[in-house]
């Protein structure tokens, strides 16, 4: 076995050593081969057995669903079971096996192509969306027929809790990644993706070493090969020699020791050397992350990305389900702030809901635009958040604002949701604070107006960088052009921080920049006093802050902000960290 290494974009640090487990896109791997006449009956039997196996799997998932996840997942599983029982699908596939004398996988693929063609002609959005269900069921069937490691994954998790399994995938959707949260793996690597794509953000929240944009990892790495994932350097070493392995075991131990040392500052008050207090908040994707937040030393939640509540299901969560999720977080955080961002669906964050159609482009109908177009989404979510506000210190954050008119329409809808609760005598915090994400250049340039009309601002540097530089944050082919240190991006961030300071409104950064220790001093020098990041990054950022002399750093940063050349800016930021 030859040893080789791959380089990608590190998204979650730490070192892990384990065995590769390939996550496949089964549809891409279907081969066509002929079945002799006398083998047809056996091939049909193989097809029937695959159907039975998938049905058993789905029924087992159905039974094992934790109460907190039940909701619409039952309906989702039932849809999949119904597809498996569909007579025209079953008979059609068997007919192809007989007539074409081909393998079951190929017949399924042909049958799927025909079905997809029909779905594409439907004008009804609900029916069109069912196509996705059929594809998912077919994927499951193909994985069984191709002998994929579905069973092995389960065995692996049983035998060793998945502790030495490293997932190797071409790409993983945010919806898939959130499902991985329910399993334990040692590492996670993909061929594509950008450092601030939602898949990367979720990989980070899995809290295991992860690397993306490795280009051909899925092709080059074989099942069960031993791999080292160095999530700090973005390097994967496949089939390492004994010497390399020993070196990495040592480095892994050192890294773990450093993490233990960091935990000693958990209770230390966060302030710079010259005594300026800094607030460190956590970003979360579900109400399941509370234990992690408490362990991180975060003093509140700066960004609750609610769109993940809408994924892996066919209908959105209703008011009651959302209320319970928000209330759980509010109660768990006691008096600490919980900033709940309203639905930011669209572009790379797709939920495939049957009754909500979102744009799949970054410039389309997404986030607040979607909620204003379909006000019932806003109404349900506002009511749920407002009801939960009675149980803790909740604030509302609106994503992707571009203009004041969007903000005003949003305020009207919020006021209407409040009125309905008052009429029903349902308690809520009538003075709930309203904040806005500054993540579109138009909003950052007009930050003063947004600061005037809002209680607080939160800078989404992930999108702000994408939109300022016209670089798709999910596209690995332009990842080298995605750089938040670009003078124009820094100008917009500085403009927003200044607008907040002038009007006495708090400003935080909740994009990935906030958790990058290479940028902590820069942001402090720019005047930022509130950071929100993934819980696993909080202690390292805190350590940086405790070592920062704010006076000194501010002077250097003021000079950096005058630079107009990215290369020079990068060099100076590097120096700042020496
Ligand atoms: C951002 O854009 O920086 C942000 C925090 O929002 P998201 O990553 O969820 O788009
Ligand atoms: Mg964003």
pLDDT band at 372; cut points 50, 70, 90: very high
What was the pLDDT predicted at 337? Answer: 98
Name the residue among 177, 174, 11 with its Cα closest to residue 534. Answer: 11
Please indicate whether residue 461, judged by its CB atom, sits closer than 6 Å to ligand 1. yes
Which residues, 6+ apart, have CB-to-CB distance to 464 below 8 Å? 438, 439, 440, 441, 444, 484, 489, 492, 493, 511
What pLDDT, on the 0 to 100 scale, is given for residue 150? Answer: 40
pLDDT digits (tens, 9 = 90+) for 387-440: 999 999 999 999 999 999 999 999 999 999 999 999 999 999 999 999 999 999
Q: Which atom of ligand 1 is nearest to the CA of 303?
A: 5
* Arithmetic mean of pLDDT, 100-112: 90
Active site (annotated) includes residue 102: no
**Ligand 1 pocket, residue 439 CB under 6 Å:** yes
| Cα gap 92→191, rounded to integer Å | 36
Query: Which ligand neighbours the alpha carbon of 283 most closely?
Result: 1
Q: What integer is the mean pLDDT of 280-297?
A: 87
If pLDDT is split at 50, 70 and 90, which confidence band does 157 have? very low
Q: To test the ligand 1 pocket, which listed residue (196, 436, 482) has its Cβ within 8 A of the most ligand atoms?
A: 196
In the predicted model, what is the mean pLDDT of the chain? 88
pLDDT of residue 217: 93
Highest mean pLDDT among 82-91, 154-163, 455-464: 455-464
285 Cβ inside 6 Å of ligand 1: no
- The predicted pLDDT at position 314 comes to 74
Residue identifier of the C-alpha nearest atom 10 of ligand 1: 463
Tokens standing for residue 198: 């939602």
What pLDDT is attached to residue 331?
Answer: 96
Residue 193 has pLDDT above 60, yes or no: yes
**Euclidean distance between CA atoms 413 and 390, whole angstroms:** 19
Residue with CA nearest ligand 1 atom 6: 460
Ligand nearest 464 Cα, by number? Answer: 1
Provide mean pLDDT across the span 1-29. Answer: 84
Give me the long-range contacts of 291-299 (CB less than 8 A, separation at least 24).
292/207, 292/535, 292/536, 293/333, 293/535, 295/266, 295/535, 296/266, 296/535, 296/536, 296/538, 296/539, 297/265, 297/266, 297/267, 297/538, 297/539, 297/542, 298/535, 298/538, 299/270, 299/336
Quick: pLDDT tens for 66-79.
555 555 556 667 77
Tell me whether strands 4-7 and 187-190 are parallel, antiparallel or unpaired: unpaired
Between the CA of 32 and the centroid of ligand 2 the distance, in Å, is 43
* Cβ–ligand 1 contact at 199 (below 6 Å): no
pLDDT for 477 equals 87
Q: Can you tell me the mean pLDDT for 326-334?
A: 96
- 401 burial class (0-12, 13-18, 19+ CB within 10 angstroms)? buried
Which are the contacts of 17, defined by CB distance < 8 A and separation ≥ 6? 164, 186, 226, 227, 228, 229, 245, 248, 249, 252
Nearest CA, atom 3, ligand 1: 460
pLDDT tens digits for 556-574? Answer: 999 999 999 999 999 999 9
Q: Within 13 Å and on the Cβ side, how many CA atoms surround 499? A: 25
- CATH annotation of 271-576: 3.20.20.60
Going by pLDDT thresholds of 50, 70 and 90, the confidence category of residue 220 is very high
Domain locations in the chain as residue ranges: 4-242, 271-576
Residue 154 scores a pLDDT above 60:
no
Given 80, 102, 486, 510, the catalytic residue: 510
Six token digits for residue 135: 């594809």
Residue to substitute in 178, 341, 342, 399 for testing ligand 1 pocket (most ligand atoms within 8 angstroms of CB)? 399
Q: How far is the CA of 331 from the centre of ligand 2 (A)?
A: 26
| Closest CA relative to residue 471, chosen from 454, 489, 496 | 489
The lowest-confidence range among 165-179, 320-334, 343-357, 462-476 is 165-179
| Per-residue pLDDT at 563 | 97
More confidently predicted of 24 and 478:
478
Instruction: Please pick, among 21, 148, 170, 198, the residue that the annotation labels catalytic.
Output: 198
Position 358 scores a pLDDT of 77
For 4-242, CATH gives: 3.50.30.10
Model confidence at 549: pLDDT above 90: yes
What percentage of the chain reaches a pLDDT higher than 70? 90
When pLDDT is averaged across residues 332-342 and rounded to a whole number, the result is 97
280 pLDDT exceeds 90? Answer: yes
pLDDT band at 118 (very low <50, low <70, confident <90, very high): confident
Distance of CA 399 from the midpoint of ligand 2 (Å): 7
15-28: average pLDDT? 81
Q: What is the pLDDT of residue 575?
A: 95
Residue 125 has pLDDT above 70, yes or no: no
> Which segments of 146-241 does DSSP mark as H helices, in order?
150-160, 174-180, 198-205, 217-220
Cα(440) to ligand 2 centroid in Å equals: 9
Kindly report, residue by residue over 132-152, the tens digit of the pLDDT: 678 778 878 887 887 754 433
- As a whole number, mean pLDDT of residues 294-301 equals 92
The whole-number average pLDDT for the span 366-381 is 96
Please list all protein residues whose beta carbon sits less than 5 angstroms from ligand 2, which is an ion: 439, 460, 463
Beta bridge partners of 197: none
* Residue 159, pLDDT above cutoff 50: no
Is pLDDT above 50 for 156?
no
Give the distance (Å) from ligand 1 centre to CA of residue 144: 37
DSSP assigned state of 195: T
Q: How far is the CA of 400 from the centre of ligand 1 (A)?
A: 9
User: What is the maximal distance between C-alpha atoms in the chain?
Assistant: 84
Q: How much is the pLDDT for 29? A: 63
- Give the mean model confidence (pLDDT) for residues 293-312: 91
- What pTM value is reported for the model? 0.77
pLDDT band, very low/low/confident/very high, at 155 (cuts 50, 70, 90): very low
- Please tell me the distance from the alpha carbon of residue 4 to that of residue 221, in angstroms, as a whole number: 10
pLDDT over 70 at 12, yes or no: yes
Average pLDDT score over residue span 241-259 = 94
Residue 416's pLDDT is 98
Residue 456 CA, ligand 2 centroid: distance in Å: 16
Q: Which two tokens stand for residue 240?
A: 């390492």
Determine the 3-state secondary structure of 38 from DSSP.
helix
166 CB within 6 A, ligand 1: no
What local confidence, expressed as pLDDT, does residue 129 receive?
Answer: 63
307 lines ligand 1 (CB under 6 A): no
């Amino acid at each position: 076995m030859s040893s080789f290494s791959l380089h990608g974009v590190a998204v979650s640090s730490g070192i892990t050593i384990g065995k590769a487990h390939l996550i496949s896109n089964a549809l891409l791997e279907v081969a066509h081969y002929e079945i002799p006449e006398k083998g047809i009956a056996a091939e049909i039997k193989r097809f029937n057995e695959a159907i039975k196996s998938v049905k058993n799997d789905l029924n087992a998932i159905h039974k094992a669903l934790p109460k907190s996840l039940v909701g619409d997942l039952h309906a989702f599983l039932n849809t999949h079971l119904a597809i498996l029982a569909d007579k025209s699908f079953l008979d059609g596939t068997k007919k192809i096996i007989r007539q074409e004398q081909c393998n079951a996988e190929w017949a399924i693929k042909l049958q799927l192509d025909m079905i997809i063609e029909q779905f594409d002609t439907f004008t009804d959005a609900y029916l069109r969306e069912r196509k996705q269900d059929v594809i998912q069921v077919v994927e499951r069937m193909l994985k069984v027929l191709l002998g994929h490691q579905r069973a092995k994954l389960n065995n692996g998790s049983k035998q060793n809790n998945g502790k030495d399994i490293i997932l190797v995938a071409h790409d993983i959707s945010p919806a898939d990644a959130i499902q991985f949260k329910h399993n334990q793996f040692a590492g996670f690597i993909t061929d594509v993706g950008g450092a601030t794509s939602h898949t990367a953000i979720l990989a980070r929240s899995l809290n295991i070493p992860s690397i993306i944009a490795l280009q051909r990892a899925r092709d080059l790495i074989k099942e069960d090969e031993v791999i080292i994932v160095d999530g700090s350097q973005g390097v994967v070493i496949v089939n390492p020699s004994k010497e390399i392995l020993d070196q990495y075991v040592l480095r892994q131990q050192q890294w773990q020791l450093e993490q233990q040392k960091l935990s000693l500052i958990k209770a230390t008050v966060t302030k710079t050397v010259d005594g300026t207090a800094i607030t460190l908040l956590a970003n979360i994707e579900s109400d399941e992350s509370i234990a992690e937040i408490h362990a991180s030393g975060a003093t509140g939640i700066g960004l609750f990305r609610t769109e993940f509540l809408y994924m892996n299901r066919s209908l959105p969560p209703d008011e009651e389900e959302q209320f319970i999720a928000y209330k759980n977080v509010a109660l768990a955080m006691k008096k600490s702030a919980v900033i709940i961002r309203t639905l930011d669906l669209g572009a790379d964050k797709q939920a495939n809901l049957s009754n909500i159609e979102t744009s799949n482009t970054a410039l389309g109908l997404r986030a607040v635009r979607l909620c204003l177009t379909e006000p019932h989404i806003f109404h349900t979510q506002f009511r749920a958040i407002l009801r939960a506000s009675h149980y803790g210190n909740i604030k509302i954050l609106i994503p992707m604002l571009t203009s004041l008119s969007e903000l005003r329409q949003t305020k009207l809808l919020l006021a209407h949701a409040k009125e309905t609760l008052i009429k029903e005598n349902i308690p809520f915090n009538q003075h709930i604070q309203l904040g806005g994400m500054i993540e579109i250049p138009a909003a950052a340039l007009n930050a003063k107006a947004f600061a005037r009309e809002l209680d607080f601002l939160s800078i989404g540097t992930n999108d702000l960088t994408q939109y300022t530089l016209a670089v798709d944050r999910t596209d690995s082919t332009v990842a080298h052009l995605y750089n938040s240190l670009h003078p124009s991006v820094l100008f917009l961030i500085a403009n927003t921080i200044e607008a907040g300071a002038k009007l006495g409104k708090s400003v935080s950064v909740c994009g990935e920049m906030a958790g990058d220790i290479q940028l902590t001093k820069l942001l402090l020098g720019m005047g930022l006093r509130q950071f929100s990041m993934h819980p696993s990054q909080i202690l390292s950022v805190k350590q940086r802050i405790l070592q920062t002399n704010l006076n000194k750093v501010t002077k250097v940063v003021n000079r950096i902000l005058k630079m107009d050349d990215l290369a020079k800016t990068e060099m100076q930021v590097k120096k700042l960290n020496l």
